[in-house]
Amino acid sequence: MSVMPIPPAEYAGLDQLATGVVVFDAGGMIVYVNPSAETLLGVSGVLLVGEKVSQVFERSLELLAAIQTAQASRETVIEYELDVTVNAHPPLRLGGTISPLDAPHGGAFMELRTVDLHLRMARLEQTRLQQEASRELLRNLAHEIKNPLGGIRGAAQLLEHELPRESLREYTQVIIKESDRLQSLMERLLTPHRTPRFGAVNIHEVLERVRSLILAETPTGMVLQRDYDTSLPEVRADSEQLIQAVLNVARNAVQAMHGQGQIIFRTRVSHQITLESRRHRLGLRAEIIDNGPGIPDGIREQIFYPLVSGREGGSGLGLAVAQTLIAQNHGTIDCDSHPGHTVFSIFLPITT
């Protein structure tokens, strides 16, 4: 793909574009911001011009990675959805196109635009239908498996009493223990579907409960940090379901890091978010961030599907159950992951 030259004299022609435009030079210094970008980012161009793009967008890791790729490859990079944060402002969900500029200017030309709401709603609806189909399949499987499991366990107990030698009872104990394990697995498949008990919930109490449980389970090796926005109001939710959902995510992180690493619990407010096809002026964003190995590329798009696990011996149910619980509380959960940095973000509506 050819590189797009934009002489400085023509920057004024970009003022009329509906998409936000940010231009920076080869040294990464911002040299131009059009009015649409000022509106989109909520920051005056006067404050941005002359600043380093890496500092202005230092919390926008996906965007910085896209910029680095565009500059290194000398090719245009298109990202349909990015979390873009300017300085201390709340994060925005935007699409971006980064095109490197020809010499002598170097640098890059960056277009930012709002994510197409209809496209995103269609994706959410498709994901919801897939998840519901998976959950229905699991419910049917769980009901079908539970009954014969009880019979297998009972038969093993009866057989154990008839065996002539103690050494042979080791085999019946294997049958009994494995039956109990599968029974527990079936209960986990079925329990998320109870009706939520809604009430006023402080998200920080939820996170602190999970934090104390993780510290009790892994007393050494794990560092759990807090980064809370204590001004966040309470949300209407089922506190026990939220605790279970966050605990599933946090435990996954601990297991991925083999009990040695760092987890950050972070809370922020989100503006103008869409949940369950409804637009909310304010939402709560709770993040569970770890510095583990990241989610393998092969399963990154399916991590919330039942029975998909990136860990040997994992059941593949923790994240599927977490997503079900969050959905029952009218929220969503998504993930961004690369080696050394994985973020699970839980979004819940704030009703005022």
My answer on whether 266 and 178 are in the same domain is: no
My answer on whether 221 and 315 are in the same domain is: yes
Residue holding tokens 């089922």? 238
320 versus 305: the higher-pLDDT residue is 320
pLDDT band, residue 127 (cuts 50/70/90): low
CATH code, 344:
3.30.565.10
User: Domain of 44?
Assistant: 16-115
My answer on whether 213 and 318 are in the same domain is: yes
Q: What are phi and psi of 226, to 5 degrees?
A: -115, 140
* Those residues with Cβ within 8 angstroms of residue 104's Cβ, 6 or more apart along the chain or in another chain: none
Residue 153 lies in a domain: yes
Residue 10 lies in a domain: no
Residue 126 lies in a domain: yes
Query: What's the first-to-final CA gap in the chain, in angstroms?
Result: 49
Q: Minimum mean pLDDT among 86-100, 138-152, 232-246, 316-330: which range?
A: 138-152
Whether the per-residue pLDDT at 119 is higher than 70: the answer is: no
My answer on whether 200 and 344 are in the same domain is: yes
pLDDT band, residue 225 (cuts 50/70/90): very high
Whether the per-residue pLDDT at 263 is higher than 90: the answer is: yes
Residue 4 lies in a domain: no
My answer on whether 162 and 215 are in the same domain is: no
My answer on whether 328 and 229 are in the same domain is: yes
Q: What is the pLDDT of residue 5?
A: 43
Whether the per-residue pLDDT at 23 is higher than 60: the answer is: yes
Q: Which of 68-72, 87-91, 132-136, 194-198 has the highest mean pLDDT?
A: 68-72
At 196, list the tokens: 């939520």
Q: What is the pLDDT of residue 116?
A: 62
My answer on whether 72 and 165 are in the same domain is: no
Rounded Cα gap, residues 224 and 212, in angstroms = 10
When divided into structural domains, the chain yields a total of 3
At 314, list the tokens: 């994992």
Residue 5 lies in a domain: no
Whether the per-residue pLDDT at 140 is higher than 80: the answer is: no
Q: Which of 10-19, 83-92, 239-248 has the highest mean pLDDT?
A: 239-248
Residue 172 lies in a domain: yes
My answer on whether 249 and 265 are in the same domain is: yes
At 326, list the tokens: 């969050």
Mark which of 170, 192, 214 sits at the end of a domain: 192
Whether the per-residue pLDDT at 243 is higher than 80: the answer is: yes
Mark which of 95, 115, 135 sits at the end of a domain: 115
Q: What is the pLDDT of residue 172?
A: 83
Mean pLDDT of 29-49: 87
My answer on whether 29 and 110 are in the same domain is: yes
My answer on whether 319 and 268 are in the same domain is: yes
Mark which of 132, 167, 192 sits at the end of a domain: 192
Mean pLDDT of 215-237: 89
What is the layout of strands, in order, in the sheet containing 92-100?
Answer: 30-33, 20-24, 108-114, 92-100, 77-84
Q: What is the pLDDT of residue 105?
A: 59
pLDDT band, residue 262 (cuts 50/70/90): very high
Residue 1 lies in a domain: no
My answer on whether 98 and 187 are in the same domain is: no
SS3 of 101-148:
CCCCCCCEEEEEEECCHHHHHHHHHHHHHHHHHHHHHHHHHHHHHHHH
Rounded Cα gap, residues 316 and 199, in angstroms = 30
Question: Would you say 94 and 60 are in contact if contact means Cβ atoms under 8 Å apart?
Answer: no
Q: What is the pLDDT of residue 210?
A: 92
Other Cβ atoms less than 10 A from the Cβ of 351: the count is 12
Burial call 46-77: b when 16+ CB within 10 Å, e when fewer: eebeebebeebbeebbbbeebbeebbeeeebb
Q: What is the pLDDT of residue 113?
A: 83
Rounded Cα gap, residues 41 and 64, in angstroms = 16
Whether the per-residue pLDDT at 296 is higher than 90: the answer is: no
My answer on whether 309 and 242 are in the same domain is: yes
Mean pLDDT for the chain? 81
Residue 70 lies in a domain: yes
Q: What is the pLDDT of residue 327?
A: 87
Whether the per-residue pLDDT at 3 is higher than 50: the answer is: no
Whether the per-residue pLDDT at 250 is higher than 90: the answer is: yes
191 versus 52: the higher-pLDDT residue is 52
Whether the per-residue pLDDT at 7 is higher than 50: the answer is: no
Interior angle at CA 55, CA 97 and CA 7, nearest 5: 50
